[in-house]
Structure formats: structure tokens, C-alpha cells
A and B are shown apart, each in its own frame.
Chain A
Amino acid sequence: MNFPALWLSLQLATCTTAVLLLIGLPLAAWLARAKFRGKFLVEAIVALPLVLPPTVLGFYLLMATGPHSAFGRGYEALTGGRLPFSFVGILLGSVIYNLPFAVRPFIAALAAVDQRLIEASWCLGVSRGETFFRVTLPLSWPGILAGLVLTFAHSLGEFGIVLMMGGNIPGVTRTLSVSIYDDVQAQNYHSAGMAAGFLVVFSLVMLSLSSLCGRRVLAA
């Protein structure tokens, strides 16, 4: 098994999960309660990576962040680096691609919290933000944890979008899945089999954990 690739995949999965906790939770909190006209469209956009092939998303991301795009030029002027073929680049791709895997379980967990409890807290003089941390979060954390575990497991095996956005640079963008592809191309079946087997076992454990967390939500 290619250990530098495994290490890189773990870094990518950890960073993706952390970023999605920070931006996915507010997004889910908003979508779980807000009522507005274009809500179905926002929900569809969040769910889009579920059905879109990663090559399509990767293609647009590459075009949008490349040195010929306004965003790419702005990023280069600001940081001196380029997004495509860098770790930050594949992280961006991975975050966008994993958005539904985090946000959808978050929404389900937050929406399951009885609205009357939240209103009871407001009527006791507690602000909206404080209510989120003292009522909503303590009652929905198992579902949120389930979403995080799912996101981590899913982004650990990231392949298509990494290949489009990052190519195949050892130690920078060659993740575990990319290294399996390389090994197969080089007819190095033993190494590919080790990595593939590891991903199967790891994913199974993570999905079982996620399912156990989800069950806690129902029991509570």
C-alpha cells in the first residue's frame, strides 16, 4: 500500500470534514427552519453532487479556478499560488463534492428538534444564537456526528474530482484512490488490492458508526 498516499487522503478527509462542519452547519440550520420561495432550488444545488459525475464538477472547477479565470487570477495575486494541482485546490473540490453528504444529515438532525423547545427558550429570554448551542445542538449532535462520519469516509476515497483538479502529484495530490488507479495501470495488483481492501473495511466501519449515531437520534 502507498503510505504517503494514505497519509494525504487522511489529511484531505480531515480538512474536508472540518471545513464542512464550519460552513455546513450554518447552512443546514438555515435550510432546516427557513421558509422562502426559492428554497427548493437551494436544496437542489446542495444535492447536485449526489447525481453529477465528478468529472463534470471537476471540469467546471478547473475552468473557474484556472490562471485564465478572474477568480484564479485574483487567488494568485492574493496568495502567489495557483489552485489547480495544489492541496488547497483538491480540498476545495472535495468540500464542494461532499457538501450533500454533510448538509443533508445535518438538516435531518436539526429539523427533528421540536420547534416548541426552541420557542420555549426564546420566550425564556435566551437569544437565538445561545438557544442553538443550549437546546438545538445538545438534542441533535448524534445526527450531526453521523453526517461528519459519513463525510469523512466518503472524502477519504475521493477520486474523480481529485484527478480533475489535482492530477497525480505524489505527496501533493496523489490520494489513495488515485494511487490504486496508478497501481492497476502499472499492473501492480498486490499494492492496489491492499489499498482497495483497506478502503472497503474502513468504509464499512465508518458506515456502521454513522448508522449507530443515527439510531441514537431516533431513540432520543
Chain B
Amino acid sequence: MTWLKAQFQKQFAGGPAIAAAFEQPVDGYSVTVLFGPSGCGKTTILRCLAGLERPDRGSIAFRDQVWFDSANGLNCSPQLRGVGYLFQEHALFPHLTVAQNIAFGLRGRPPNQLQRQVAEMIAAFELQSLENRLPRQISGGQQQRTALARVLIRQPRLLLLDEPLSALDSLLREQLRIELRRRLAEFKIPAVIVTHDRTEAIALADQVVVMDRGEVLQTGPVAEVFSKPINLRVAQLVGVDNVTRVKVLAIEDGLPRIQIGTQSLLAVGTAQPGTFASACIRAEDVVLQRAAGASSSVRNQLPGQVLSMTNEGPLVRVEVDCGFALQILVTKAAVNDLELTVGTRVFVLLKASAIHLV
């Protein structure tokens, strides 16, 4: 297994010190998401990986090649790194057509071979009949596909994506998020993606690097980081209490039925039966009761047992095992009324709309 190893610091005058520290396997498709609020230094890290910014100290190595090493003053130029960089607003060349943009980085090849490769990319990214349009004459989604085609035609060794979906409106964003993941898997290219959008992070990442104010706070598989933040700062940043990998079993009346732990539940979201997805459940959206309820509008009722209880100001965080571990936030008054302690048997009420599939 070969790796991208990044371990460096960079400070701009008047800004916080930005420190990157992560490793990523780069043999095939794997996605690391740098996640954090705007201004936390994620884009700077991406620019350092591309060679557009020079770190102050540290090193960057890709497979057996050193890209940057402050110890011996080595700094490989962006041209020699062979990465594909997808800019936030796509950065398409406004004076060139879609086809010319896609062919831009391919030079010194016989014209017929170049033409064939560009035609292949145009077909793969469904840009037929737009070849001769200028970037400003096509839609945001088409611009993104053109930018991706322009980068992928060079078969980069590593893809760097800076907020790839933020320039698009929300309706298109969800659709393109699914498409982006499919494309990355299809081209089998490892990627580092920067985003401040937690849905995007959960949907795209294998590994998440949570950052705040220039610092890496936590690194790990996406489900682990989002469901088990190591401290309060990470918990506040990630903002989702329960993230679990689930299998989509079937679609019932337009709602996906998912396999979560040992339970089968109804959720909300778009999904294909037989695929895997991430289910996000906010702790405050779950209802607890002592006995099985009479019929109600709630679709999912699960028996469970309290595993642990933690005070969080006026609220109590209750962890329940109901076939899978679930974090639930309730008030202190509710804890008293229900006489909850560790080991208490309870029923968990989970509305389908509280389970969000991404």
C-alpha cells in the first residue's frame, strides 16, 4: 500500500498557524475530506498539496516521491506533481470553448489522438453539443462537469477538490454530490476534498480530518468522527450525533427501508435498494418512553436499554442500545419522570423523517 503523507505548517502574516497532519492510502479510490468552518485553513492545506503555496516547515510525500521537504529546501512545482485541482468556482478559461478547456492540459500528442480523447471525455461527462460553447454560456452543473473533465483527462495521480459543490444551488448540489462520488470511484483516483458542509463530508468521505483555527482536531473514518467526536469542539463542529452506515433494503411508498444494526427502519432520502448509505440522526429528534406506545404517527418503535447517561447543561445525553447505539438528548425533568438510570428498559420512537440518508 502506498501513501500520501502530509506533515507541515504554514502561517500567513497576521493569521493563525496552520498545521496539517494526515496520511491517506493512494492506491485506488479513497477520499479524505478536510472538514471545518470557513477560514480554518483547509484551502491553504490543499494549495500546499498542489504546490501553489509553500509551507514554512515540514514535508509532503506522495508514494516514493518527495513533493516538499523544508529540511533540504526541496519544493516540487505544481506542473511536476501531476495533481488535478478543482477550484471553487471551477476556474474555466473564459476565452476558450468547452472542448478547448478540456484539451488545455493535453499537449504534444498527435492531433487525432487528442481529438479522440477529448471526444471520449465529452461523451463521458454528457457535454455533447456543448463543445463549442464558452463557459459563461453553460449551466453551473455543466461547468462543473467541464472542470472535472479538464482535470481527469490528464489522468492525475491525486485529485484536490476545493468546495466542489458550493458554487451550485442546493437542488443541483444534492444531485451532483451523488454524481461526483460515482465519478471519483469510476476513475479510481484518490482525492482530497475540502468542505464546510457536513452533508457533503458524510456523503463523500472515507476519512475525515476535522479542522478548526488551523489545527487538526480529529482524524478517522467518517462514521467514527461524526458519531464519536473526541471532544466538545469537534462535537460542535460536526453537529450530528448519530451517523451510521446502513444498507438500503427496499423502497416502500417512496420511503427507503434500511437495515441499521439489527433493526429494519423507514427513513427519508433518495437511495437505491441494495446500496449502502449513511444515516444521520440528531439526538434531539429522538423520543424516549417507558412502555410501548399505542398507535401513533411515528413509524419506528424500538425496544432498547440505557447504556450510559451524561449531563450536558440543562440536558442529559442518554445512550441507548436498541439494536444499534443511539445518542438521545432529553431534559433533566424527563429523566426524573421516566426514572431513567443505566440499564433501564425503554422504547425509542424514531420518526422516519428524523433519519436522514445521505
* Segment touching A, from B80-88, B237-245, B275-283: B80-88
Contact A123 B52 (CB under 8 A): yes
Contact B79 A125 (CB under 8 A): yes
In the complex, what distance in Å separates the CA atom of A123 from the CA atom of B93?
13
CA distance A175 to B107 in the complex (A): 49
Q: Does chain A have a CB within 8 A of B114?
A: no
Given A122-B78, A124-B154, residue A135 in contact with residue B93 (CB < 8 A): yes
The interface-forming segment of A61-69, A113-121, A181-189 is A113-121
Q: Which residues of chain A from 136 to 176 have a CB within 8 Å of any chain B CB? A: 138-139
Interface residues of B in 69-84 (CB under 8 A from A): 77-79, 82-84
Interface SS of B by simple majority: loop
* Contact among A116, A119, A126, A220 with B104 in the assembled complex (CB-CB below 8 Å): A126
Task: Evaluate contact between B150 and A122: CB separation under 8 angstroms.
Answer: no
Is the beta-carbon distance between B79 and A126 smaller than 8 angstroms? yes
The interface size of chain B toward A, counting residues with CB under 8 Å, comes to: 21
A127 at the interface (CB under 8 A from B): yes
Verify if B95 is at the interface (C-beta below 8 Å from A).
Answer: yes
Q: Is the CB of B87 within 8 A of A125?
A: no
Q: Residue B178 at the A interface, CB < 8 A?
A: no
A179 to B125, CA, bound (A): 67
Cα distance A127–B154 in the bound complex, in angstroms: 15
Q: Which residues of B contact A139 (CB under 8 A)?
A: 94-95
List the A side residues contacting B93 at CB < 8 Å. 117, 120-121, 135
**Cα–Cα distance between A75 and B203 once the two chains are bound (Å):** 71
Residue numbers in B under 8 Å from A127 (CB-CB): 79
The smallest C-beta distance from B208 to any residue of chain A, in angstroms, reads 24
Find chain B residues with CB under 8 A from A126 CB: 79, 104-105, 107
Cα(A138)–Cα(B94), bound, Å? 10
Min Cβ gap B136→A in Å is 10
Residue of B nearest to A135 (CB): B93
How many angstroms between the C-alpha atoms of A117 and B50 in the bound complex?
14
**Measuring CB to CB, which residues of chain A are less than 8 angstroms from any residue of chain B?**
114, 116-117, 119-127, 134-135, 138-139, 220
Could you list 27 A-B pairs, sorted by A, with CB under 8 Å? A114-B91, A116-B87, A116-B89, A119-B52, A119-B87, A120-B91, A120-B93, A121-B104, A122-B79, A123-B50, A123-B52, A123-B79, A123-B83, A123-B84, A123-B85, A124-B104, A124-B105, A124-B150, A124-B151, A124-B154, A125-B79, A125-B82, A125-B105, A126-B104, A126-B107, A138-B95, A139-B95
- Chain B contact residues, CB within 8 Å of chain A: 50, 52, 77-79, 82-85, 87, 89, 91, 93-95, 104-105, 107, 150-151, 154
